[in-house]
């Protein structure tokens, strides 16, 4: 048996690079039930662009797995790491702790030949929530704001729940065009609201309804004339965590998150298209020029951003990356507990699937549809034969058309996910 199993890498790259530029995610499980035991280490290619789907029911370790991918990218050799960046969309507010070492699992990590380690993470919080963080004594590194000028009338209509062909949608389109004509791209919500007020062709009732939506959007603490430069999120060798968890308690919370993800995806795609051309010129001429690193974009609750039915402000930008992101060097890691609710193109384009336990029939059928071409065993039987402990999963590698049972390795950095308990654990120094 080989010393390592490498998934996500084709035969040509395996011969050229071996296991260089791969991430250690766990060990192969051999056997079933009480006979199961861990054997060969499993590594995943992270040097090439991929669409990776991580699925499983609530509490089975999906977000934990995403953290492991981020950890591994920061552990790569310097010459590889500086060509990659990680952007994590944190919908639950759990990745802030990654800069802390995982001291609570020190003994378990020792069994795997690993040590607790904090990571280099830059934490972005929406500008309107900075005061809450400071009052709570929580750390953050940067504020996040979106430039109004880069949002389309369609983005606003979808966010507010208006059709573009009804009076409310038409009023928004006029206002956005008027603001752009007067101010170029450097305008905010105030300029849009003034354009609505100045509109002589729209009924007052419609204007009041639209202005009310924009007034509510001002309270989200997110929109400015310029916004956060995407280069701040695309730092070489660094994990950028974008905290969107505060919007869970806000009306239209998912719409706000979708605006954030949609705009990040657009900007990342634009930057990487330009950088890819620069990389080709470097290959031709040998002249080194500054460029943006390749990106690993990790999105939790992916079915909310890229749903099977309907449109969100992030649907089109994410589909662009799903279909065309390989060429400019953008990887997507999509996490969901409802694969049947995820857009069919994301399911079809995933070249690596990591599935924890699933029980809902519709979700099993969605996963079965991905695997049906070359996996003879039934997916439900494969999942049921996995050990019951958290972190057990099956990995489907579309590159080699092989499937492996795997135990995901323990995290090096502190994981803040999981359900709280009324029974508090003793402090680490007391144990």
For 202-253, the pLDDT digits (tens) are: 999 999 999 999 999 998 989 999 999 999 999 999 999 999 998 887 767 8
Residue 428 has pLDDT above 90, yes or no: no
pLDDT score, position 420? 55
Q: Is the same domain home to 275 and 158? A: no
- Angle, in degrees to the nearest 10, between helices 204-218 and 153-160: 90
Say yes or no: 13 and 107 in one domain: yes
Top pLDDT among 382 and 203 is at 203
Q: Name, of 105-114, 129-138, 420-429, the range with top average pLDDT.
A: 105-114
Q: Is 69 left (phi over 0), alpha (psi -120 to 50) or beta?
A: alpha
Assigned domain for 305 exists? yes
Per-residue pLDDT band at 199 (split at 50, 70, 90)? very high
Structural tokens at position 11: 């035969």
CATH of the domain at 90: 3.40.50.300
The burial of 362, by beta-carbon neighbours within 10 Å (0-12 exposed, 13-18 middle, 19 or more buried), is given as exposed
31 and 157 part of one domain: no
Q: Domain residues for 18? A: 4-114+237-250+264-408
**Judgement on whether residues 43 and 156 belong to the same structural domain of the protein:** no
Convert the pLDDT of each residue in 121-138 to its tens digit. Answer: 999 999 988 988 888 787
The helix or strand, by DSSP H or E, that contains position 331, with its residue range, turns out to be strand 330-336
Q: Is residue 256, in this structure, part of any structural domain at all?
A: no
Q: Say what percent of the chain tops pLDDT 90.
A: 67
Residue 367: pLDDT over 90: no
Instruction: For residues 186 and 241, state if they share a domain.
Output: no
Structural domains of the chain, count: 2
Residue 322 in any domain: the answer is yes
Token representation of residue 230: 């995407």
What are the C-alpha distances in Å from 188 to residues 180, 185, 210, 215, 260? 10, 9, 15, 12, 16
Estimate the share of the chain in helix, then strand, then coil, as percent rounded to the nearest 5: 45, 20, 35
- Between 86 and 287, residue with greater pLDDT: 86
**pLDDT given for residue 375 in this prediction:** 59
**Which residue would you say has higher pLDDT here, 386 or 244?**
244
Q: Would the pLDDT of 419 be above 60?
A: no
> Rounded mean pLDDT of 41-58?
93
Q: How far apart are CA 302 and CA 63, in angstroms?
A: 12
- Least confident interval from 130-139, 209-218, 329-338, 373-382: 373-382
Which of 426, 412, 420 lies closest to 64 in space, CA to CA? 412
Domain-embedded: residue 142: no
List the beta bridge partners of residue 41.
Answer: 4, 27
Residue 427 has pLDDT above 50, yes or no: no
Q: Are residues 200 and 244 in the same domain?
A: no
Output the average pLDDT for the chain.
Answer: 88
Q: Which residues pair with 23 in a beta bridge?
A: 44
CA-to-CA distance for 176 and 85, rounded, in angstroms?
33
Q: Is residue 166 situated within a structural domain?
A: yes
Q: 């004339």: which residue's tokens?
A: 225
What whole-number distance in Å separates Cα of residue 300 and Cα of residue 307?
13
CB atoms closer than 10 angstroms to residue 68: 23
Say whether both 103 and 213 belong to one domain.
no
Q: Which residue has the higher pLDDT, 128 or 297?
A: 297
Q: Which two tokens stand for residue 113?
A: 């030949």
Is residue 100 located within the same domain as residue 246?
yes
243 lies in the same domain as 220: no
Whether 177 and 317 share a structural domain: no
């Amino acid at each position: 048996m080989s010393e390592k199993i490498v998934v996500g890498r084709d035969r040509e790259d395996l011969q050229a690079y071996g296991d260089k530029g791969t991430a250690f995610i766990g060990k192969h499980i051999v056997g079933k039930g009480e006979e199961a035991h861990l054997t060969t280490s499993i590594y995943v290619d992270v040097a090439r662009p991929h669409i990776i789907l991580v699925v499983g029911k609530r509490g089975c370790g999906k977000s934990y797995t995403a953290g492991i991918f981020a950890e591994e990218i920061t552990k790569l050799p310097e010459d590889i790491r500086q060509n990659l960046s990680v952007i994590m969309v944190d919908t639950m507010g759990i990745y802030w702790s990654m800069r802390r070492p995982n001291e609570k699992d020190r003994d378990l990590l020792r069994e795997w030949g690993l040590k607790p380690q904090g990571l280099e993470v830059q934490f972005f919080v929406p500008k309107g929530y900075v005061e809450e963080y400071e009052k709570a004594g929580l750390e953050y590194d940067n504020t996040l704001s979106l430039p109004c000028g880069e949002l389309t009338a369609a983005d606003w209509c979808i966010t507010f729940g208006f059709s573009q062909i009804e009076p409310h949608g038409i009023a928004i389109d006029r206002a956005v065009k008027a603001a752009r004509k007067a101010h170029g791209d450097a305008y905010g919500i105030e300029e849009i609201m003034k354009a609505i007020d100045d509109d002589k062709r729209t009924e007052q009732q419609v204007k009041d309804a639209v202005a009310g939506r924009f007034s509510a959007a001002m309270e989200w603490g997110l929109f400015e004339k310029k916004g956060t430069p995407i280069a701040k999120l695309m730092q070489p060798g660094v994990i950028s965590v974008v905290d969107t968890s505060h919007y869970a308690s806000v009306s239209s919370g998912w719409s706000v998150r979708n605006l954030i993800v949609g705009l990040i995806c657009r900007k990342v795609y634009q930057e990487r298209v330009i950088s890819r051309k620069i990389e080709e010129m470097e290959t031709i001429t040998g002249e080194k020029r500054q460029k943006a690193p390749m990106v690993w974009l990790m999105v939790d609750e992916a079915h909310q951003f890229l749903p099977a039915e309907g449109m969100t402000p992030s649907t089109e930008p994410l589909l662009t990356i799903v279909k065309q992101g390989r060429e400019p060097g953008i990887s997507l890691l999509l996490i969901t507990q409802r694969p049947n609710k995820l857009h069919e193109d994301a399911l079809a384009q995933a070249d690596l699937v990591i599935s924890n336990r699933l029980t809902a029939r519709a979700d099993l059928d969605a996963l079965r549809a991905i695997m049906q071409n070359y996996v003879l065993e039934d997916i439900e039987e494969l999942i049921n034969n996995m050990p019951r402990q958290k972190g057990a999963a099956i990995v489907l590698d579309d590159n080699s058309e092989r499937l492996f049972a795997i135990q995901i390795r323990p995290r090096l950095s502190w994981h803040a996910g999981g359900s709280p308990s009324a029974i508090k654990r003793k402090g680490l120094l007391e144990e």
